[in-house]
Structures are given as C-alpha cells and as structure tokens.
Amino acid sequence: MKNRKDKSNLGRPNPGPLRSTRARTAGGKKLNPEVMASAEQKALEGLKQRTEEGHLKAGRTPPSQGMAGRRSGGTVVIDDSIRPAPVTEDEKLLQQPGPRTDFTRTDPWRVMRIMGEFIEGFDTLASVDKAVTIFGSARIGPDDPTYDLAVETAKLLAEAGFAIITGAGPGIMEAGNKGARLGGGRSIGCNIELPFEQGANPYVDTLIDFRYFFVRKTMFIKYSVAFIIFPGGFGTLDELFEALTLIQTGKIYKFPVILFGRYYWAGLLRWLQARVLSEGKISDGDLDLMLVTDNPSEAVQAIISAYNSLGKTAGEQYEETEEGGGPHKGDGQKQ
C-alpha cells in the first residue's frame, strides 16, 4: 500500500522535497557547485605543481616561476579578448557562444587559427618517416627508476631509426627526448598551452606549440607507429584510451600500445577484465590490444616487429583506408 501511495504522488505538481542522494564524488564528497568549483581549482593547482616538480627534480627553475620557456616560432600569447582572466584556447572553443555579434567575430577566426596549427604541425613533421610517441608523468625526476627506463627505451628506439615524440615537458617526457638524443635520433616535442607557462625540456630538437589539445593529439597519432605508455595520470590515460579506441574502431591498424610497468598498470587491467569485460562492455580481443612489459628491449622489439609487418604511420594507414584500401591494403614492408 505504501508503494502505491508513493507512486500516486509522482503525478502531482508538488510531490514534496526531493529525497537526499547518496551520490558522491570519487573522492568521497557530496557533489554540489562549491565542491565542483573547488575540485576544478585544486586540479589546476595540482597540474601546475606536478609540472613544476618535474622541472625542479631535473635541477631547473620551472618556467611558471619566472624563467622564459622555449617556444617554436613567435611567442604564443594567450588571447584574453573574451574575458580578462587567463583562459586557454581549448576552454574558449568549448564555451557556449555568446551574443550573435560575439560569435561571428570570434569563432570563425578560431577556425583559421586551428587550420594554422594543423598546417604548422604538418609542415614541421612532414619529414618524419617513423616515430614513436612516449607518454608518462611530468612529476618524476632523474632519480626515479622509471626515468632511466624511459631513457633506455627511447635510446634503443632512436638507434633503430625511430624518431621520438613527447609532450615536451619534464618527467617521462624529458626522459624520452633525452634518450632520443643519446641514441642519435630526432627528438620532437609537442607542447600545449596551459594557464601557466609549462616550458619545454632541454632535450627537444624540434618543438611545436599548440593551443588546442585535439590538434596536438592528431600529431601524436599521425606521425607515430606506436605509443609507449609509462606510468602517468589523467593525460596519460587519455592518450592510452584514445589510441585503443582508434584501433578498436578500425581507424588505425597494427599500432602497438605498450604499457610500461606491470605493477603500475596491474590494477587497471584487473578492473578492465573483472568488470568491463565480464559485463560485456568490451570483448576478449580488446584486452590483447595492449602489451605489458617492464623491459625496454621487449618494448622496442614489439614496435620493430609491428613496423616491419606494416611499415606505415597511423596517418598513412588512415589515409589509405579513406581511399578505400581497407585494413589489409598495405600489408608488407614499407617501400
């Protein structure tokens, strides 16, 4: 009877106060606008702290603390024409449009800037024959064992003829660029505009600055033949799952995604298997899209084998598919 009475209240205009929810943030707090605003602010502060920590552990003054950072071409100035507070170009692009006059004056110009970033990236990296992108935490320093493993992995890849691409920052990114230089290979950094000055590590030979994350991500995928994912945070996970999605949906083929550090990734892989796979959200084959290792030589050999079996960058594979070749049209060694 009580259930019937409760159901009859659903049609009334004022059924009474809403029942309290048990929903909480992943950190255990009840979600409300104040918590959300605080979380966003703390997340940005944490990002700044992590980036600075990587520079400090490498013995450098972080650019956000006053040292001028390296940049490609002219100085990138944060556009504050919409509001005075420092805002990244990604944030402005994703904002709701304002009055009609503001929309027509700003978004078309952003499209031109986006085109310009694509052009600069394509033009700068056009000569990259084969490259491997290395992702990982910006927070670690040269005293971390993972740093040395990243240096060794990148060095072996460079000696095998691969260029190394990173996000240009400190930590694992710095280790990747350092290994590329030690191995005599091309060391590429794709930097991103942040609300604070991030700067580039000193081992980058070719530096490109981007305002938009999606343009930068395109460069990672287009010019890479593999991703190596060292321990990292949200940004690292973002790149990992984006690559897996592109493979899963048939956009790129025979593209190794290597998780470096068995212990670090074990919990995530157990969850994927015990929860995501068991509930049918992914298939058995999806888990086999990732290779897990602790050995630089194993990672490098997996990439060399995959490259020799196909011999094309992700961008070339995608363009080939768009032309109607399908996933098997260029199998074989690169000519």
The structural domains of the chain, with segments of one domain joined by +, span: 116-322
- Whether 101 has a pLDDT exceeding 60, the answer reads no
Q: What pLDDT does 250 receive?
A: 85
In this prediction, residues 108-130 reach a mean pLDDT of: 92
Lowest average pLDDT, out of 165-174, 208-217, 312-321, goes to 312-321
This prediction's pTM: 0.72
- Is the pLDDT at 306 greater than 50? The verdict is yes
Q: Is the pLDDT of residue 75 over 50?
A: no
CATH no., domain 116-322: 3.40.50.450
Whether pLDDT at 176 is above 80: yes
Q: Would you say residue 8 has pLDDT above 50?
A: no
| pLDDT given for residue 313 in this prediction | 64
Contacts of 298 (CB under 8 A, 6+ apart): none
Check whether 3 has a pLDDT greater than 60. Answer: no
Taking 70 as the threshold, does the pLDDT of residue 202 lie above it? yes
Burial 218-256 (b: 16+ CB within 10 A, else e): bbbbbbbbbbbbbbbeebbeebbeebbebbeeebbbbbb
Mean pLDDT for the chain overall: 79
Q: Which residues pair with 24 in a beta bridge?
A: 30
